[in-house]
Structure 1
Amino acid sequence: MRKLLLTAFALAAVCSSGFSQNTEKMEVKDPAYNWDFTHIYPSWDAWQKELKDFSALTPKFIEYKGKISKDPKALIEYIKLSEKAGQMGSKLSSFARLQKDVDGKNSMYNAKLQELQNIFVEMSKNRSWYSPELATLPQETAMKWIAENPELAPYKHDMEDFYRELSHILDEKTQNILNEYSRALSATSKIYNSLSVADIEFPKVKLSTGEEVTASPAVASRIYATSPNQEDRLKVANANRDYYFKHRNTFADIYLGMLQSRAASARLEGYKSCLDATLSGNNIPTDVYFTLLKVAQTNVAPLQKYWDLRKRALGLAKYYHSDASAELTNFSRSYKWEEAVKIVTSALGMMGKEYNENFNSMLTGGKIDVFEKPGKQTGAYNLSLYGVHPYVLMNWNETRDNVFTLAHELGHSVHGILAQKYQSYNNSGANSMVAEVASTFNECVLLDYMLAQSKDPNEKIALLVQAIDNVAGTFYRQVQFAEFEYTMHNMVENNKPVNADVIAKVYGDIDAKYNGLGVEQPENLKYSWPRVFHFFNYNFYVYNYAVSFTASNALYGNIVNAKNKKEADAAKERYLNLLKSGGNDYPINLLRNAGIDMTKEESYLAVTNRLQKLVDQLEVELKKVDKIK
């Protein structure tokens, strides 16, 4: 029940530190390029005071034990207390975490987070009784309370969701037994992380240039993108995969143990399969998963045509996965921050007044941390903070990819702003399936805008390749992984033999099915599946990427392919209503209301048809510059 159960703030991964506290007023840097943390608290003194107030809430939760199932007023008070704690916890956590992410060398932030974590642990103990007691309240009574008490009305969806899953909630005795075994059951995950991260050692490779490099993922990515020598790219790829081949039996045993544990848990909780157990949490029909697989499997032609175009444009006799990042043209362009902001703002002008007012509000200062700096977290993200505003982290390096990243993250920002404006606190968050629609939608808008603005065939090729790679990586690649996951879980659930060679064959056959015979498959490729950490650390998650990416392409297509302005405006309004809805319904229902039914095959054709169009356009542009005949 999401925030109703006090899951509004995540504090699971904090580190400890004994650094002394600093309660001085903070220095505010240029808000044009740096985060302004005074929007959350004016000083660490204010943070420390709020922390004290937050801690004082801890004993209050236990006061409602035995009352919430008997008195609607007690339930309302408990929920309000939970929401108050959730909002306070989010602000306290974000204030320290955000500063840690731009100043990672300062251990003070870990100390602050540890203070908060200690309080959270105690608070969690004082509210562990809540779900079991709520389960004793008949659903009819709960719905009657909601009808009679307006203050409970915003929680109707949360309550219905709780009772929908009630039959799968284990009794207290069984749950306690599982809790006792939880550390032992989680050992396989820890072993995997040690083997794949802490203990991993990649071999050194001597390139044709005489340079000796370690075939780590980062180095491999650099070689794939910059080396003009195919043999060097392949040599690094094989060396990178050899570690997984060498430890193939260990990785297979780890994964088998995880699959068996997941299957046992699903049966114990009364689900038909591991897939049912995973999708049930968000009430997602299994049709969504199987329809995704079916459409991708039957529409691989544009993907395979793309690999063939690349092979021809690069002048290769054979094509390998390690050739997928090689540049097809020598086009290069850098983008200054202000120029990129102007481009993205102009592209999104089509979204109308309300969208752009909220988009522009993110550019008013103090909300985006723009440039790289010592100790700063790498990559990019958006953090929407309830009652304040979103914070966006960038590491601007003037690349075209950064321009798209800016559009992507600000899509999340506007989604957060609109959801908070139109929804109650408990419904202001969004499921990942819907959240990623808001970001990838903006990438579709930006691509079409930049293609329309470009007059240089080489620039168009670079833009098209980026867009096609996005479809290949976010849709086809993730579906490929999703099919692998389903196949392996299904084999274990049906007691079929599983070992390193069996897993490798499944992975290799699926890879060949999607990418075609035109992409060479070295023997160690099919043993490289353990590189995908999602298989071990998450359960049926990768399909989310493909579904949300499909939805964003379809919703964007509904706007730009509309027959007239009236239809386009209606499609745009449905999309904006999706952003405004936050998490007030199940993700499939929200997407259906926006105009896309993810249980229908035609919905997924939007992304496969778009890929066909992009690949055909790339073929035209490659011919213009004599890269292919």
Structure 2
Amino acid sequence: MKKRVCTAVTAATVVFSLLSTPFMPYSTQMLYAAERAPVFKSRAEIPDQYKWKLEHIYANRAAWEADVKKVEKMANVFPKHQGKLAGSVSALKQALDDYVAMMRIHDKVYVYANMSLDVNSSNPALQELADGAEKLNTLVLEKTAWLTPEIVAIPDGRMKEFLASPELAEYKQFLENMVRTKPHALSKEREELLAQSSALAGSPGNIYNMLAKDIKFPTIKDENGKEVQLTRANFVAYMESKDRRVGQAAFEAYYQTLEKFQDTFAQTFAAKVKADNFYAKARHYQSALEASLIPNNIPVKVYDELLETVNKNLPLLHRYMALKKKMLGVKELHMYDIYTPIVPSDTRYIPFEEGKKIVENGLQMMGEDYVKALDEGFHGGWVDVYSTDDKRSGAYQWGAYDTHPYVLFNYQGTLDDVFTIAHEMGHAMQSYYTNRKQPYIASNYPTFTAEVASTMNETLLFKSMYANAKTKQEKMYLLNHYLENFRTTLFRQAQFAEFERAIHEKEQAGESLNAEALKKLYFDINQKYYGDTIISDKEIAMEWARIPHFMNYQYYVYQYATSFAASQALAKQVMEEGKPAVDRIKTNFLEAGSSAPPIEVLKAAGVDMSTAKPIEDAMKIFEESLTELEKLVNEK
């Protein structure tokens, strides 16, 4: 199953784009028209066509509980295979077949409980449901903890025979991944102990999520001088205001509020980093970075090359900031200015129905079956569209192997939100194609490839809109939107990745991760990335406390940047080659899952991420687009 927030949780993988935070790749425009997205006080008020249909998974709680009991029984009897795996091909196959059968049900149980809570987080019964799913997950981890050590312990010669067996062809990549990480496998007893501690390791993230949800922000005055409540959900909207006073007020109120809780955030974050380093050390990795990348078959040099290449090209970002300052006509460019639209444009409200059509039209080049599947998703209970106070913020795609994909939105009707539709439905399409083609064991595509399909969709949508732009103003607006994608995805995610690596290294070296240390480190890196053109306001030092990926996941954000670079290359191939490129990408990438190492999957699709070239090529595209915008700005 795949929840794209973006890293592995239990057997699932989460892919989401937290659009409520400004680190996501779509900040350029906000509504200023009278018409805005509908406001719903409760979930019951939302029309059914705008709510996902979890009843497609379980008709009621009784059906869910029946599967919980089924998984409990399967988990408790699973150890019957212990000690027998090296005996024969059939013994190993039977164990793996039973594992798959159990995990397919487990994933449905876990997804249903957590997605139910995500759209109604204040409901005690749903909190209980999610707790039950977590306890079940812990049980499954405990009862299967012996599996990897026993497989890894199979003698090399014997394993070679097993890998050559046609009976185990479905599990070949799965087994090879285990063998590859053999130096980091532990004894049965130690694996069981680590499995039992999994709930504790997740505590910092859970604490952070609750703290972030419970913090109340002050009111600010909007563009009309009206007192409005600042929230996590509307923060970016006010940061994008045309009224500079509103953006500054939102910026200062938000981060000054977070600063009041800086010590709690810092201790929570430090606990998360300590846990990452502990598990890395326990498995004999040199660092948490290595522990995160190697199991996914990603060379550490990919991370290093990303940061090196981005740092080398920071003058381009500084040049973009200089253009932004010029276009805004301000004496001083501040951090609260960078989300302000620099090109006047149509700021009308875009109803969700219209947003869907824009996306479908923009992705026509992906072929008829792709667009048909998109339409099926929009009308088949896949999507949850509108916000309520107790709905999880942002956007993500999730689902289990035996369900259709599910997509959570918090749609407000901006052009950004339309691009978010394209982004999240890109995740959904990858899950849709993969689950149709691959067996369960190869369906959980790795995080390294998870953001490629989504950002490719965004690029194709931009290219389609740009090609049809009729005026200089439209072109300037769309170019700026595209450049913002580069800033917030390639540059900004690399900035986050640099910060994440630095804090893990500091903790590993025995340095304190107190609030002041975290603030100074973040401030210095932010200042380096944005350069001297912009004033790094002191409040920005607290931005790390509003990035949930830091608290909930390990070394995920760099993959936004690498995926964005890969997606630029693939989108270019689609536009230049047409159907041959589309067919190659569908077959070798969208349908691939984890049937091959992620670097090989992308190489077969047409981009080699084992080198820095895709990052360098993406930087060239950024420079070309920046030059084009500068030319349009300077035209008389």
Q: Same fold (TM over 0.5)?
A: yes
Query: Which residue is equivalent to 1:312?
Result: 326
Matched, 1:138 2:138: no
Match 1:197 to one of 212, 220, 230 = 212
Matched, 1:572 2:588: no
Query: Which residue is equivalent to 2:316?
Result: 302
What is the CA-CA distance between 1:168 and the residue it aligns to? 1.3
Task: State the alpha-carbon separation in 2 of the partners of residues 228 and 304 from structure 1.
Answer: 24
Query: Aligned to 2:355, what secondary structure does the other structure show?
Result: helix
Query: Which residue is equivalent to 1:512?
Result: 527
What is the CA-CA distance between 1:235 and the residue it aligns to? 5.0
Among the aligned pairs, what percent are the same residue? 31
What is the CA-CA distance between 1:315 and the residue it aligns to? 1.6
Matched, 1:76 2:93: yes
Q: 1:76 to 1:6 in 2, by over 3 A?
A: farther
> Counterpart amino acid of 1:166?
K
Query: Which residue is equivalent to 2:34?
Result: none
Query: Aligned to 2:144, what secondary structure does the other structure show?
Result: coil
Give yes or no for contact 2:386–2:409 (8 Å, CA) kept in 1.
yes
Matched, 1:57 2:74: yes
Task: State the alpha-carbon separation in 2 of the partners of residues 243 and 114 from structure 1.
Answer: 30
Task: State the alpha-carbon separation in 1 of the partners of residues 310 and 402 from structure 2.
Answer: 41
Q: 1:35 to 1:309 in 2, by over 3 A?
A: same
Q: Where in structure 2 are the equivalents of 1:113-192 lying within 5 Å?
A: 113=130, 116-117=133-134, 119-148=136-165, 150-172=166-188
Matched, 1:600 2:611: yes
Match 2:568 to one of 544, 553, 578 = 553
What is the CA-CA distance between 1:159 and the residue it aligns to? 0.9
Map Cα deviations across residues 311-365 of structure 1 (whole Å, 9 max, x no partner): 2222200001101122331531333334333322222221234433433443453
Q: 1:43 to 1:242 in 2, by over 3 A?
A: closer
The alignment's C-alpha RMSD in Å is 3.9
Farther off after superposition, 517-526 or 160-169: 517-526
Query: Which residue is equivalent to 1:16?
Result: none
Matched, 1:435 2:450: yes
Query: Which residue is equivalent to 1:87?
Result: 104
Farther off after superposition, 234-243 or 467-476: 234-243
Task: State the alpha-carbon separation in 2 of the partners of residues 44 and 548 from structure 1.
Answer: 38
Q: 1:338 to 1:240 in 2, by over 3 A?
A: closer
Query: Which residue is equivalent to 2:470?
Result: 455
Q: 1:274 to 1:366 in 2, by over 3 A?
A: closer
Query: Aligned to 1:584, what secondary structure does the other structure show?
Result: coil
Farther off after superposition, 466-475 or 46-55: 46-55
Query: Aligned to 1:325, what secondary structure does the other structure show?
Result: coil
Query: Aligned to 2:398, what secondary structure does the other structure show?
Result: strand
> Counterpart amino acid of 1:550?
A
Task: State the alpha-carbon separation in 1 of the partners of residues 80 and 358 from structure 2.
Answer: 55
Map Cα deviations across residues 166-189 of structure 1 (whole Å, 9 max, x no partner): 211234565677779888887776
Query: Which residue is equivalent to 1:17?
Result: none
Q: 1:187 to 1:111 in 2, by over 3 A?
A: closer
> Counterpart amino acid of 2:79?
I
Matched, 1:283 2:294: no
Query: Which residue is equivalent to 2:599?
Result: 588
Task: State the alpha-carbon separation in 2 of the partners of residues 121 and 108 from structure 1.
Answer: 20
Give yes or no for contact 1:555–1:596 (8 Å, CA) kept in 2.
yes
Which protein has greater RCO, CA pairs closer than 8 Å, 6+ apart? 2
Q: 1:186 to 1:438 in 2, by over 3 A?
A: closer
Task: State the alpha-carbon separation in 2 of the partners of residues 571 and 61 from structure 1.
Answer: 44
Q: Where in structure 2 are the equivalents of 1:412-431 lying within 5 Å?
A: 412-431=427-446
Farther off after superposition, 104-113 or 301-310: 104-113
Q: Where in structure 2 are the equivalents of 1:8-407 lying within 5 Å?
A: 8=11, 33-37=50-54, 39-41=56-58, 47=64, 49-101=66-118, 108-110=125-127, 112-113=129-130, 116-117=133-134, 119-148=136-165, 150-172=166-188, 197=212, 220-226=235-241, 228-230=243-245, 233-242=247-256, 259=273, 262-263=276-277, 265-328=279-342, 329=344, 331-363=346-378, 365-371=380-386, 377-407=392-422
Query: Aligned to 1:599, what secondary structure does the other structure show?
Result: coil
> Counterpart amino acid of 1:152?
L
Give yes or no for contact 2:121–2:392 (8 Å, CA) kept in 1.
yes
Q: 1:48 to 1:224 in 2, by over 3 A?
A: closer
What is the CA-CA distance between 1:278 and the residue it aligns to? 1.9
Farther off after superposition, 580-589 or 608-617: 608-617
Query: Which residue is equivalent to 2:484?
Result: 469
Map Cα deviations across residues 222-265 of structure 1 (whole Å, 9 max, x no partner): 432225134x5435434443456667677667656665664455
> Counterpart amino acid of 1:464?
L
Give yes or no for contact 2:386–2:411 (8 Å, CA) kept in 1.
yes
Give yes or no for contact 1:475–1:546 (8 Å, CA) kept in 2.
yes
Task: State the alpha-carbon separation in 1 of the partners of residues 580 and 545 from structure 2.
Answer: 45
Give yes or no for contact 2:448–2:563 (8 Å, CA) kept in 1.
yes
Q: 1:121 to 1:312 in 2, by over 3 A?
A: closer
Q: 1:413 to 1:525 in 2, by over 3 A?
A: closer
Task: State the alpha-carbon separation in 2 of the partners of residues 245 and 419 from structure 1.
Answer: 43
What is the CA-CA distance between 1:87 and the residue it aligns to? 1.8
Query: Which residue is equivalent to 1:616?
Result: 627
Task: State the alpha-carbon separation in 1 of the partners of residues 68 and 264 from structure 2.
Answer: 45
> Counterpart amino acid of 1:399?
T
Match 1:540 to one of 552, 555, 559 = 555
Farther off after superposition, 423-432 or 360-369: 360-369
Query: Aligned to 1:392, what secondary structure does the other structure show?
Result: strand
Map Cα deviations across residues 143-177 of structure 1 (whole Å, 9 max, x no partner): 312323x3311111111111211211234565677
Map Cα deviations across residues 451-489 of structure 1 (whole Å, 9 max, x no partner): 222324444444333322222111111111212223343
Map Cα deviations across residues 344-402 of structure 1 (whole Å, 9 max, x no partner): 22222212344334334434533334455786555433234323422333444432222
Give yes or no for contact 1:31–1:366 (8 Å, CA) kept in 2.
no
Task: State the alpha-carbon separation in 2 of the partners of residues 131 and 73 from structure 1.
Answer: 17
Task: State the alpha-carbon separation in 2 of the partners of residues 38 and 184 from structure 1.
Answer: 31
Task: State the alpha-carbon separation in 2 of the partners of residues 6 and 305 from structure 1.
Answer: 39
Map Cα deviations across residues 543-569 of structure 1 (whole Å, 9 max, x no partner): 111111111112112333x4xx4xx54
Query: Aligned to 1:226, what secondary structure does the other structure show?
Result: coil
Query: Which residue is equivalent to 1:15?
Result: none
Task: State the alpha-carbon separation in 1 of the partners of residues 56 and 389 from structure 2.
Answer: 23
Give yes or no for contact 1:415–1:579 (8 Å, CA) kept in 2.
yes
Query: Aligned to 2:333, what secondary structure does the other structure show?
Result: coil
> 5+ residue gaps in structure 1?
12-26
Task: State the alpha-carbon separation in 1 of the partners of residues 56 and 63 from structure 2.
Answer: 12
> Counterpart amino acid of 1:413?
A
